[in-house]
Structure 1
Amino acid sequence: MKVAFTAPMKPIDHPVPSGDRTMGRLIVRALQLAGHEVDVASTFRSWRAEGGEDVTREVKELAITEAKAIAERWIERGDVPDVFLTYHLYHKAPDWIGPYLCAKFNIPYVVVEASRAPKRQAGNWALGFNAADAALAQANQVVALTNADAQCLKEVLNDDVLTVLPPFLETAKFEVSHSVTKGSADGKIRLLCAGMMREGDKQFSYMVLAAALKQIADLPWRLTIAGDGPARGEIEPLFDPERTEFVGLIPWQEMPRLYRSHDVFVWPAIREAFGFVFLEAQSCGLPVVGGRVFGVPDIVEEGTSGLLSDEGDASALAQNLMSLIKNPHKRENMGLAAIENIHKNHSLEAGARGLDKVLHAALEHHQFKRRVHGGR
């Protein structure tokens, strides 16, 4: 099939790296691996930090203008795709382009990752919420990447439309051609943390981590922090400079070596959808210590490939870190289980198979609706 693709939350060519951008690119890669032709129909970004009726109406007008331009190109080229797929929509990033084009050309509409917060039905985000709900109502298939999102979406979607497909990654990119020595030369356990340094949830994650580490200051560990951002000046002083190395923003090509040179990956994951770094760390054989929030339990096999604690609980996070620091056999076994978890449940190949099934289900659902409504 030929698949038109867009990502209104964060286009895949956005200059700032994030888990969202990575997941969008992986969806394109998985579709191609499954044998489909992908056309990035638009890089229009509907996401806005602040809501309000005037802001949302302006974004909608820009989106419809973009959709009409795409329609003209398709007609001129005589090249209408078989299906339109939108990655990640919600009240702050509604999709008007996909629904417009699918209605105009009578093609199936697929949404991968949608978040729904009923409390946003009123207030500044009401128009965005309604637009996102309208897109979901039009969709022939909606893919939730976490069971938490699926539960929220069941309020407005039937089971024949809603699918849960665990997030995935390209494991080959996290292999290294030579062995990497773990641990420090002084015998201390090397902990790794990776996250952007922004105000809000990311900064709070760093605060929780710093509080946890202070509770295990008597143990033999060293910490590496990979990441950068506008809140770095507030984050760095939280950590012991004698035991912490800030390495800044690391190119993805260098991340596999960084992961593999450490013993444990830790990230509190405050308000994380699922935390793409947990997938990367596990694929490199690291046991993970994180927060039990939203989709994290969907990708970390608790007690097998990692240890999770309640969101924001610094003491519980410290206890889990202590458990792995003190027990090398547990670290090793969990690291091996982490690799198995990723290859079995979260590989690019698994994602390709899942998305291929979704596209075919969307076609069938679309054809069924056309028969029911007399070809419309």
Structure 2
Amino acid sequence: MRIAFYAPLKSPNHPVVSGDRQMARMLVKALEHGGHSVELASELRIYLRRPEPESFDALKIEVRGEAARLTKLWDRDGKPDLWFSYHPYYKAPDLIGPELASAFAVPYVTAEASYSRRRNTGLWADSQALVARAIKQAALNICFTQRDRQGLTNAIPDAALGMLSPFIDTSVFQELPVRGCPTRLVTVAMMRSGDKVESYRMLAQALGRIGHLPWTMSVVGDGPARDEVRAQFAGLPADRIEWLGAIEPAAVPDVLYRGGIYLWPGYGEAYGVAYLEAQAAGLPVVAQDIAGVPEVVRDGQTGFLTPPGDVAAFASAIARLLAHNDERIIMAAEARRFVLEERSLDGAAARLAELISKISAS
């Protein structure tokens, strides 16, 4: 099929590294891996940082221009067979695809769409109404987590839903890793306000509780909250923390291979691609049993998921893996098997092909 792909929040070509951009790229790869021809329909970013009507109105003007451009293009070169919209939600609704798909009788599909009733106030209520309308229109809404699926089911009972587990391109992790240092802890996360800072704060507090144990930590990440993040670790010995800053995605596997345990509390994580990468590199994970994290970490098998907000439990889980290397090795092997065998690009491509074939056959 010829598929028009669109990610309103962040184009696959966006210069800023993030989980959203990475998953958009992975979806394009998976679709192409399944034999489809994928074209990026638009790079117009629809992101409403704050509920400001003026910003929304300005975006709508740009949307009209993009819709006119695509209409002219499709009239000349023919319409696509399907419109695929990645991650539309109240701050980033797809304002282009639904109307074009309807006008050209093209099946409309979403992936990782979300709906939150608590956002139904002011301008957010208007943008969520557009998301809901798109979800109802969609021939299929692909959910990555049971949490998102339940949210859509509760809000839009008649929505057409399908499941696709979060995945990564495991090709860079196929070679057996050189065994890293079992007491080296690793985290990879952006440094921005909100949930990321809260996760860093909890991480620093937990490390402060296990200072009597032998460990060092490598931190990959940077961002506008860098100073606030580093301040959280000020009470820890400076020689125990290695601040690597932002590095190229291609360099991340090497950092993971050098480690022994992956740590990230995970406040607000939709699921967390970084957890999958860490496990593919053979690192058991310590995270919270929160948001979408249980979709990518198997508690007691590929790591430990601790109760939300419980710093003592989080620290205890880290200490357990530091003190019991045999258990860490067993979890590391299972973590690697889990991702390479169950969360690979090949598996995702096959699942996507199965889901899309039902649309084309209907």
Residue 65 of structure 1: how far off its partner (Å): 2.2
Q: Which amino acid aligns with 1:311?
A: P
Partner of 1:7: 7
> AA paired with 2:74?
W
In the other structure, the counterpart of 1:180 is 178
Q: Is the 8 A contact 1:141 1:361 kept in 2?
A: no
User: Is contact 2:153-2:159 (8 Å) kept?
Assistant: no
Residue 196 of structure 1, aligned match among 190, 196, 205: 190
Question: 2:317 is matched with which residue?
Answer: 320
Aligned equivalents of 1:172 and 1:198: distance in 2? 30
Moved more, 222-231 or 291-300: 291-300
In 2, Cα distance between equivalents of 1:117 and 1:179:
41
> Deviation per CA, 1:105-129, whole angstroms, max 9, x where unpaired?
1010000001111112222311111
Which residue is equivalent to 1:238? 232
Amino acid at match of 1:339: R
How big is the shift at 1:358?
2.0
1:218-258 Cα shifts (integer Å, max 9, x gaps) = 11111110001111112113222121010111211111111
Say which SS state the counterpart of residue 225 (structure 1) adopts.
Answer: strand
Q: Which residue of 1 aligns with 2:84?
A: 85
Which residue identity is paired with 2:27?
I
Q: Distance in 2 between matches of 1:298 and 1:121?
A: 27
Aligned residues: 359
User: Is this contact kept in 2: 1:191–1:223, CA < 8 A?
Assistant: yes
Paired with 2:273 and 2:59, the residues of 1 have a C-alpha distance of: 29
Counterpart for residue 69 of structure 1: 69
| Runs of 4 or more above 3 Å deviation | 156-160
Map of 1:108 onto structure 2: 107
Gaps of 5+ in 2: none
Distance 1:266 1:332, change over 3 A: same
1:213 equivalent in structure 2: 207
Aligned to 1:139: 138
Once the two structures are superposed, the pairs formed by residues 1-376 of structure 1 within 5 Å of their partners are 1-77=1-77, 79-158=78-157, 161-176=160-175, 180-183=178-181, 189-239=183-233, 240=236, 241-364=238-361, 367=362
Question: Structure 1 residues 256, 175: closer, same or farther in 2, change over 3 A?
Answer: farther
Q: Deviations over 1:313-371 (max 9, x none)?
A: 2111101101101010111000110011112321101110111122122234xx4xxxx
CA distance in structure 2 between the aligned counterparts of 1:65 and 1:179, rounded to whole angstroms: 49
CA distance in 2 between partners of 1:61 and 1:94 (Å): 15
Q: Is the 8 A contact 1:30 1:349 kept in 2?
A: yes
Distance 1:91 1:283 in 2: 32
Identity of aligned residues (%): 36
Moved more, 115-124 or 255-264: 115-124
Q: Partner amino acid for 1:116?
A: Y
Tell me the SS of whatever aligns to 1:166.
coil
Structure 1 distance, partners of 2:105, 2:323, is 60
Q: Distance in 2 between matches of 1:141 and 1:201?
A: 30
Q: Is the contact made by 1:270 and 1:312 (CA closer than 8 Å) also made in structure 2?
A: no
Local SS of the residue matching 1:311? coil
1:179 and 1:335, CA in 2 relative to 1: closer, same or farther beyond 3 A? closer
Per the TM alignment, residue 276 of structure 1 is displaced from its structure 2 partner at its CA by 0.9
CA contact 2:84–2:110 (8 Å) conserved in 1: yes
Distance in 2 between residues matched to 1:151 and 1:345, nearest whole Å:
23
One-letter amino acid matched to 2:306: S
CA contact (8 A) 2:222 2:245 kept: yes
- The 3-state SS of whatever aligns with 1:81 is coil
SS in 2 for 1:224: strand
Whole-Å separation in 1 of the counterparts to 2:66 and 2:177: 49
**Quick check: 1:56–1:127 contact (8 Å CA) kept in 2?**
no
TM value normalised by structure 2: 0.96
SS at match of 1:148: helix
Residues in 2 aligned to 1:159 and 1:358: alpha-carbon distance in whole angstroms: 18
Q: CA deviation at 1:159?
A: 7.0
Q: Aligned partner of 1:125: which letter? A: W
